[in-house]
Amino acid sequence: MSNPLSLLTPVTLDASARQYRLQLAGGQGQEAAGSPGGDASSAQGVVAALHVEAWIAREALSQLGELRLLCLSLQADLPLDTLLGQGLVLQTVLADGSLSARGGLVRQAEQLGAQGGLARYRLTLVPWLWLATQQARSQVFQERSVFEIIEQVLAPYAAQSATWRFSRDAQALQQQAPRRGYCTQWRESDYAFLSRLLAEEGLGWRVQAQPDAAWGHEIVIFADSTQDDAVPANASSPARFHRQGAQEQSDAVQALARRTRLAIASASVAVWNPDARSLHEASVPSRHVAARAPRIEYDHLLGADDHSRGLQDSRAAERCAQRLIEGAEAYSDLFIGRSSLRTAASGTRLTIEEAPALGLQEGAPTVVLDTLEHAGFNDLPVGSVQAIEARLGAAEDHLRFETPPPAPDTEAATLGVLDLKRTAFAAGDAFFGVADEGDADASFDTGFDSDPTPWHQALATSAGPAPDAAVLAAARASGYANRFRATHAERPWRPQLSTQAGAGAFVHARALAHGVHSALVVGPDGSSSANGADEIYTNARGDVRVRFHWQDERARQGQQARPDDRSTRWVRVAQRQAGSGLGWQWTPRIGQEVLIKFTEGDPDQPIVIGALYNGRGAGGVPATPGGASAAETDDAALYAQAHDSATSAQSNQAAGLGGGHAPAWHAASSDAAGHRNPSALWGFKSKELGAAGPNAGHSQLVFDDSDQQLRVQLAASTQSSQLNLGHLIHQQDNYRGSLRGQGLELRTDGYAALRGGAGVLLTTYHGPSGEKLEPTADFAAGLALLQQLTTLSQSLDGAASTHQSVRLPGHAGSHQANASLIDADNAPHAALLRAAKTTVDAQSTDQALAQASDKSPATGENRVPHTGEAVIAAAAQDGLLAAAGQHLQVTAGETITLASGGPINLALNAQARLHAGQAIGLVAAAASADHAATGLSIIAVQDAIDAQAQSDEIKVQAKEQLTLQSAGAAVEMAAARKVRIATAQGAAITIEGGNITFEAPGSITYHASMRTLQGPAQSNFALPQFPQSICVECLMRRAAQRTAFISKGV
């Protein structure tokens, strides 16, 4: 128990003669803490009223340290809030009277108690980089090196007087640093983001005291720890390896041990390059492999995202492997110890003289101090210390760290280092090192591998993790002590990427973007609004750029977005199917809202997996939340304005992100006032580039699932071209109009063509409804009609031959007998019948194509009909109508046959012409003799009948009587040379030249009521003049007059 009289002992506080002093950083108030004067309401006055009692600190390379100060004051009501955010410097008086400084930002200030006119305070100082842990951001960097990214992230802190710099070796690396194609900070603190980037690039950082800086220190980022500017020599280097004693004039290292662990023998890195579709590999061996040790290799496979980090070739992969192996080498051989070096600081180089060999071949070891834990007690008078403890308790009770050490802080969790049996180097049974009080055989434990409170349990300890007890005891005895962990100075120090103890878990793992996210597709300038018809912005692979909503948020807050933060990298678009030259092809357009997912949750690897509607169509029934009555609105009336030829309530009403996009077909209701559409339409609809609104051109595939009205429409708005199947109705976007029929419709206002390279079948014949569907090329009914044609043509061709008329070329052959252009062995009719009766194999496509040309009519279960030639076959069950508003042209390269089982009527309103290059044959009543009808009837109701043979004879023959009659005029017969009328019995009248000759084998009888014989007379008869050759002028004139060609010049 403390002496009760200590409560009456006065406490002497005079900082000017003490080992530890406190002052404001940045040259503010050069008077040390505890000096008289100063306004207690200001930071300078508060610092002046504080006296350092004791302190502890923890620091490490590339880690945030923590300095906790216990201070005493004769004032119990100091305004501690004036210290928050201020920079303070703890000055330590060295053995030669010089000063050593440690500075930091005041993160926390608290009063621990007061009694008897004495108060105890505790201040927590941290590097200014701690501020970066308090700000989480989401932002994108594109085509920037890691150095440019660091400068961008730290720029806001530099504006608040934070100081930092790159070491000269890092500056040299900066000139050749690769650019990262894409790098995302996603809901990460600036500190976590920077730590991850630095670790990936093999860069480290340290805290360097800078009393004139605003916060008493600066951050130095280095690339090569073997360089002096990266890791400078410690002010106490070289230091002696010696016991600690009251008579010692200089600080020394009191305990030192070396710990080696089995490390990997090589590191291999493989980087996949998605653009070149190649794998870049590199392997780097270790330069410090233990003799006769098992050979262990570490393989690190990087993906497409790592390619965007600048790892684009084998050389970059080799640099990455080099950093991995250097990190393993640094942590596989460590020095641990305790010292009284008051200048000891993380990130400094220290040479230890007179140290034991520790298995090293070289002389005095030179190490880089990595992790340190400090403790210090001010040299207060013994009486004052007792009085303080009697009033406020022991200082050790309050010397605890606020936060646990960073995880992991043990060598067992180091990448590439196996956790072997924990041991120290010894000669025989003696431990290499000097323990306190010179006991060379005493147990030595630095505590780095066995903290009293493990880091993962320290969060549950309300008092915070305690410093090492041995360090506290040594500091209490001599005023200062530390424990440290160090690496070989000649081995480059690298931050650890991942841990072995964590089964490959990353120390500086990036934040994972879980679930799905949405974003807007943007153009080249990051805008979500298209510029005219330029609605598509994509690369050759169909990737797009998007802008996340958290990027929009900065713009809404008035912040100026960086050019590379207005959009993302090229983002792949997932398709329902993708392959070599096959698959779906959908390219999101500028302004569309898309759904994003990240590969393995990596924010640097977004993929578009779909699109979202973010608006709604105009019109509708107003909402009635909470049972409230509907407000007066005209929205519902908009639906009624739609009809078969016009749309309504189709535009986007609710403007969302990017202006909003309403569905193409939205639910209304089944009645006419609701577009007769109870959400029955679904499918796909495109939009014309550069157009907007309901009148924009489009193409669409619509499925209509209305009850008993199933329908499919494939349509393009150009020339209203549509293929409609099923229940045919008018449709105007969301509006389902009136009935147009049922079945199939192929229509267009423009040009249409139907082409079939192997043949086309048009038929109205079909099998019984509900039964098995007939084969696609089934033409059984047409074949029956074609067979009737063949039979009829055979009969009529025989009649024409019998009666010496022109034969039917369709049956007999056109160019040669029994041959046609499509079949050398069959006339046209037989050739068509053979081609139409063709069947092919139903099991093999290749065999079927080969059999089509054979025109085999074979039947069987595995045979299906197929045309043997490229013919168009049309068959109508009830009738076939061909109508033309202007002209109807029928042409064929070989024959045209019009055949009917009944009559054929040719009805014309104007003139009829029949032109033949050869003969025209007309045979009537060849099949049957119907005496009630006329065999061949040619009647001109008006005008004349003109029959001419312009180069040969005209023969008019009759088996019975031949009658020439004129009902109202004369019958004239004329010839250029002779007219002869004769009977078979020999009587004849011959008119030739100027004579008329009567001939009769019997008598010649004249009957006349009067007989008059006059003298000679001559009367000329105008005979037609037939052309000797073709007269083009006459042809053109007659064609224009639409009259028959009779004589030249007429």
| pLDDT on residue 292 | 65
Assess whether pLDDT exceeds 70 at residue 156: yes
Instruction: Give the residue ranges of DSSP H helices in 159-313.
Output: 168-174, 190-201, 304-308
Find all residues with CB under 8 Å of 586, minimum gap 6, and list them: 573, 575
Pairing of strands 426-427, 99-115: unpaired
Does the pLDDT at position 327 exceed 70?
Answer: yes
Tell me the average pLDDT across 419-448: 37
Q: Check residue 194 and give its pLDDT.
A: 96
b/e sequence 234-258, b meaning 16+ C-beta within 10 Å: bbbbebbbbbbeeeeeebbbbbbbb
pLDDT band of residue 1035 (cuts 50, 70, 90) is low
What pLDDT was estimated at residue 57? Answer: 97
The residues with which 69 forms a beta bridge, in sequence order, are 55, 123
pLDDT given for residue 644 in this prediction: 77
Categorize the per-residue pLDDT at 105 as very low, low, confident or very high, splitting at 50, 70 and 90.
very high
Band (pLDDT 50/70/90 cuts) for residue 735 is: confident
The CA distance from 679 to 1004, in Å, is 104
Q: What is the mean pLDDT of residues 749-759?
A: 90
Beta strand 699-704 pairing with 711-716: antiparallel
- Token pair of 89 as six digits: 């410097």
Q: In the prediction, which pLDDT does 441 show? A: 36
If you average pLDDT over residues 715-724, what whole number do you get?
A: 93
Q: Higher pLDDT residue, 306 or 90?
A: 90
Write the CA distances from 119 to 29, 75, 79, 383, 446, integer angstroms: 23, 6, 13, 17, 34
Kindly indicate the confidence band of residue 263, based on its pLDDT and cuts at 50, 70 and 90: confident
**66: amino acid identity, one letter:** E
Q: Exposed/middle/buried for 133, CB within 10 Å: 0-12, 13-18, 19+?
A: middle
- DSSP 8-state symbol, 509: P
Confidence of residue 434 (pLDDT cuts 50, 70, 90): very low
In the block, tokens 């989480």 appear at: 136
Most confident of 212-216, 411-415, 458-462, 621-625: 212-216
Q: Mean pLDDT, to the nearest integer, of 171-185?
A: 90
Whether the predicted pLDDT of 930 surpasses 70: no
> One-letter amino acid identity for 666?
H
Question: Vertex 971, ends 970 and 973: CA angle to 5°?
Answer: 135
For the chain, what percent of residues have pLDDT higher than 70? 80
Tell the burial category of 713 from Cβ atoms under 10 Å away from its Cβ (0-12, 13-18, 19+). Answer: buried
**pLDDT band for position 484 (cuts 50, 70, 90):** very high
**Residue range 451-467: mean pLDDT, rounded:** 52
CA distance 332 to 263: 6
Average pLDDT over residues 545-559: 75
Give residue 744's pLDDT: 92
Confidence of residue 413 (pLDDT cuts 50, 70, 90): very low
Please say if the pLDDT value at position 676 is more than 80.
Answer: no
The pLDDT value given to residue 476: 94
> Which amino acid, one-letter code, is at 612?
L
More confident residue, 657 or 266: 266
Residues 6 or more apart whose CB falls under 8 angstroms from that of 494 comprise 202, 204, 323, 326, 327, 330
Region 469-483: mean pLDDT is 94
What is the residue extent of each domain of the chain? 1-126+379-399, 129-222, 231-370+408-436+468-505, 517-612, 640-747, 759-875, 1024-1050
Q: Phi, psi (5° rounding) for residue 1011?
A: -130, 125
Average pLDDT (672-696) is 79
Under the banding of pLDDT at 50, 70 and 90, the label for residue 234 is very high
Of the ranges 149-153, 314-318, 392-396, 467-471, which one carries the lowest mean pLDDT score?
314-318
Whether the CA torsion 877, 879, 885, 890 is positive or negative: it is positive
CB 317 within 8 A of CB 244: no
Q: Please provide the average confidence, as pLDDT, over all residues in the chain.
A: 81
* Whole-angstrom distance, CA of residue 550 vs CA of residue 556: 10
Higher pLDDT, 641 or 402: 402
pLDDT over threshold 90, residue 373: yes
Q: Is 215 exposed, middle or buried (0-12, 13-18, 19+ CB in 10 A)?
A: buried
Q: What is the per-residue pLDDT for 271?
A: 79
Mean pLDDT along residues 1029-1038: 65
For domain 517-612, give its CATH number from 3.30.565.10, 2.40.50.230, 2.60.40.10, 3.30.9.10.
Answer: 2.40.50.230
Cα–Cα distance, 58 to 66 (Å, whole number)? 5
Average pLDDT value for residue range 191-220: 94
Look at residue 941 in the predicted model and tell me its pLDDT.
Answer: 80
Q: What are phi and psi of 582, to 5 degrees?
A: -145, 170
Mean of the pLDDT values across residues 413-419?
Answer: 45
| DSSP E strand stretches across 32-117 | 51-60, 63-73, 87-93, 99-115
- Residue 331 in this model has a pLDDT that exceeds 80: yes
Least confident of 72-86, 453-467, 531-545: 453-467
Please give the full DSSP string across 830-842, using - where no structure is assigned: HHHHHHHT-EEES
- Residues 1027, 948: Cα–Cα separation, whole Å: 12
Q: Which two tokens mark 912?
A: 């009829």
Q: What pLDDT shows up at residue 655?
A: 46
Predicted confidence (pLDDT) per residue in 825-858, tens digit: 888 888 888 888 889 888 888 888 888 888 888 8
The predicted structure's pLDDT at residue 673: 66
- The span from the CA of 507 to the CA of 509, in Å, is 6
32 has pLDDT over 50: no
Confidence at 553, pLDDT banded by 50, 70, 90? low
Render pLDDT for 160-170 as a digit per residue (tens, 0 to 9). 889 999 999 99
Report pLDDT for 500: 46
Are the CB atoms for 222 and 228 separated by under 8 Å?
Answer: no
pLDDT at 1030: 62
Question: Side chain identity at 54, as an amino acid letter?
Answer: A
In the structure, what pLDDT confidence band is assigned to residue 16 with cuts at 50, 70 and 90?
low
Task: Between 485 and 423, name the one with better pLDDT.
Answer: 485
Number of continuous H segments (helices) and E segments (strands) in the chain: 16, 41
Question: Which pLDDT score is estimated for 5?
Answer: 45
**Residue 102's closest CA among 299, 374, 332, 366?**
374
Can you say whether residue 585 is alpha, beta or left, with left for phi > 0 and alpha for psi between -120 and 50 degrees? beta
- CB 242 within 8 Å of CB 354: yes
Give pLDDT tens digits for 295-305.
666 666 665 55
Cα–Cα distance measured from residue 688 to residue 532, given in angstroms and rounded to the nearest whole number: 11
Whether residue 27 is predicted with pLDDT greater than 80 in this model: the reply is: no
> What pLDDT score does 474 carry?
94
Task: Give this prediction's pTM.
Answer: 0.75
Instruction: Report DSSP letters for 173-217, one per residue.
Output: HHTTPPEEEEEEEEEEEHHHHHHHHHHHHT-EEEEEE-TTSTTSE
Domain 129-222: homologous superfamily in CATH? Baseplate protein-like domains (3.55.50.10)
What pLDDT, on a 0 to 100 scale, did the predictor assign at position 1023? 75
Give tens-digit pLDDT for 599-640. 888 898 999 999 998 876 666 555 555 555 544 445 667 777
Of all residues in the chain, what percent carry a pLDDT higher than 90?
Answer: 33
Instruction: Tell me the pLDDT band of 748, cut-offs 50, 70 and 90.
Output: very high
Residue 745 has pLDDT above 80, yes or no: yes
Identical fold for domains 129-222 and 517-612, yes or no, is: no
In this prediction, residue 122 carries a pLDDT of 97
CATH number listed for the domain at residues 1-126+379-399: 2.30.110
